[in-house]
Structure 1
Amino acid sequence: MPRTTQPPTPQPRPPAPSTPRLPAPPTPHPAPTLDPRLALAQGRPQHGDSALWRAGRTLRGLTASAAREVAEEARTAQEIQRPVTTGRVVAVTSIRGGVGKTTVATLLSRAFTHYRHDPVLALEADAALGTLPVRMGAESVRWACGDLARILTPAMRLTDVTGYLVPVSDGGWLLPASRGRVGAPLDVATYRTVTLALRRYFAVTVVDCETLPGDVARTAMDTAHARVVVAPMTPEGVGGTRLVLDWLGQLPHSALATTVVALTAPAPDMTLDAKAAAGHLRETGATVVPVPYDRHLAGGGAVDPARLAAATRQAATRLAAEAMHRAAKVR
């Protein structure tokens, strides 16, 4: 009979080495967004409208024109409340600093938060010393974009993510670019990581970009669902913004069709004709929304919606509606 060969006895395998868990990053100490001495020196914020104008508006509220304003506001609110299947990103930028870019991003974020019932995020993608936390009313910040880029995982829930964000008084959320110190600027890789991950949690993300032609600003403008370009009502500001709009019109995916221009008045008495400035920008096919001068916004510090001029609130609401109208259509 043939001899049978017994199979070799299996040897026990050594246990696989367990992957060590990385320790959780230490929680940074809160950093104030504004030096307390400057906060005390700022004084009391002004109202955008004078007391006499506000009293007159109360009387005008009893007329038929008030009903038309309410109906128009309802239509605009319905546009802002458009349902979305995935998070929409609205990028705000300009060709130079000091023209109201961060202020417009703040107005947009507060308008979206006021009218929508889903989470809204204001994300700062400006240089290391951006002012979005101050304008949003944050007293201090802990985590920045770079920190969150190393922490985010697909398993995290909204409640996990918001633990690293700054809650805003009106119900929105804020993610700053830094903790108020001069350091390495936000890079393109970090921006892409954070925005792609956070779109799962927030219906609308308003990005306060650096000025063009910075790399992060170009990336944000190229990848956003809607774009808001802030142009000051000056000859050089309108002329430079026209060049940006011409560039957007040459991009392969029709970026100009999803772009809105916020034409801001940096001073109460501008010499440039507003209609001529808006018409020059509209020649490109972009929609232009004038944002009037506002004493409350000009004073700096936190933006208080209750102190905004009525015309400013209307402009901010229309700007949000125009941006959402374009962002919601992008697949």
Structure 2
Amino acid sequence: MPAPQDPPPAGSRPATLPELRIPGGRDAAVPMATPESVPTVDPRLAVALGRPVHGDSVAKRAGRSVRKLGSSAAQDVAEESRIGRELQQPVTTGRVIAVTSIRGGVGKTTVAALLARSFNHYRHDPVLALEADGALGTLPVRLGVESVRWSCADLADILTPAMQLTDVTGYLVPVTDGGWLLPASQGRLGAPLSMRTYRTVTLALRRYFAVTVVDCETLPGEVARTAMDTAHARIVVAPMTAEGVGGTRLVLDWLAHLPHSALATTVVALTANSPDMTLDLKTATAHLREAGVTVLPVPYDRHLAQGGPIQTALLGRATRQAAVALAAEAMERAVRVR
């Protein structure tokens, strides 16, 4: 993939429409109406978000501090170094990691946001979070983006092979902690993302971004099935409930019948959306592993459960570890595909 150029500072926006370099030896500005900027959260509701809470309680953090005095710091450093090496693996072409689930409300978008933040933290090349869920998706909110302008459909109409990274990022939203976002819509009900638009955007943007994390619609949506079939790695988010695990196992059986053995590059994120989950974790994990996939739990986190923008510093320690481990597993599988 081409060497990345230095992106403009986070939060900056081009004063005018970026110029498109059209093949043929001449540069030309393509006239196109600029969409209006739309806030991701209605200002009337922003005040209702409340003060963000830490994922771990004060008592839990205090207890961990005491235990840490007797723990081996060398082991922690060694494990972090190992995961860092996996996340920083070089790629020759951009890797696409698709995230989906069998129903909404199970943490699909949250997992996608955590993955994007993990890759942005560890990698030094460009990372893109792409929202492919046009049904009022919340990825911009979870990534802390205040407003959106250009959407997948807008960009699909103007992408050309001659565009440089600086041209493309002029149409994307810079994320505060690093990386870029391309939303599926402007937060309004409208036509769902088409399969043609998804293919056009993902194939074109792979040239510029080392990793693209795609927040897909739920299965069995057409775009979700296409994304799962064409991605380099897949994350299936399963809620820690009997029906959620059972439905996800059916998805894994479907993946097993794809012509290119998609199960080998699939990881299941088993999410707990309540501190009082009753389903036995070992039993649920074993049932999903029978399909031949890796299963990683994502624990309940008070900060994530609160909704709104995710602040990495406020995540519980176990949640941060789970997010990084999940990103490392996905990256390890994505680089297998040549």
TM-score of the pair, normalised by structure 2: 0.90
SS in 2 for 1:301: coil
| Aligned counterparts, 1:73-152, within 5 A | 73-152=80-159
Structure 1: runs of 5+ lacking an equivalent: 1-20
Q: CA deviation at 1:23?
A: 4.4
Deviates more, 1:92-101 or 1:124-133: 124-133
Q: Deviations along 1:136-194, whole A, 9 cap, x unmatched?
A: 10000000000000111111110110000000011110000001111111000000000
Query: Equivalents in 2 of 1:53, 1:70: separation in Å?
Result: 22
Tell me the residue number matched to 2:279.
272
Q: 2:40 aligns with which of 33, 39, 54?
A: 33
Q: 2:321 aligns with which of 310, 314, 321?
A: 314
1:222 is aligned to 2:248: no
Tell me the residue number matched to 2:189.
182
Q: Partner amino acid for 1:245?
A: L
Tell me the residue number matched to 2:336.
329
Query: Equivalents in 1 of 2:30, 2:325: separation in Å?
Result: 47
CA contact (8 A) 1:95 1:213 kept: yes
Query: Equivalents in 1 of 2:240, 2:309: separation in Å?
Result: 23
Query: Equivalents in 2 of 1:311, 1:29: separation in Å?
Result: 40
SS in 2 for 1:122: strand
Deviates more, 1:61-70 or 1:137-146: 61-70
Runs of 4+ in 1 over 2 A off after TM superposition: 55-67
Counting matched residue pairs gives 312
Q: CA deviation at 1:66?
A: 3.3
Q: CA deviation at 1:62?
A: 3.1
Q: Partner amino acid for 1:157?
A: Q
Query: Equivalents in 2 of 1:43, 1:309: separation in Å?
Result: 19
Tell me the residue number matched to 1:281.
288
Tell me the residue number matched to 1:168.
175
CA contact (8 A) 1:33 1:139 kept: yes
Q: Partner amino acid for 1:301?
A: G
Tell me the residue number matched to 1:45.
52
User: Percent identity over the alignment?
Assistant: 76
Structure 2: runs of 5+ lacking an equivalent: 1-27
TM-score of the pair, normalised by structure 1: 0.92
Q: CA deviation at 1:39?
A: 1.1
SS in 1 for 2:267: strand
Q: Deviations along 1:20-72, whole A, 9 cap, x unmatched?
A: x7842121121000111211011001100112222333333333333312211
CA contact (8 A) 1:60 1:66 kept: no
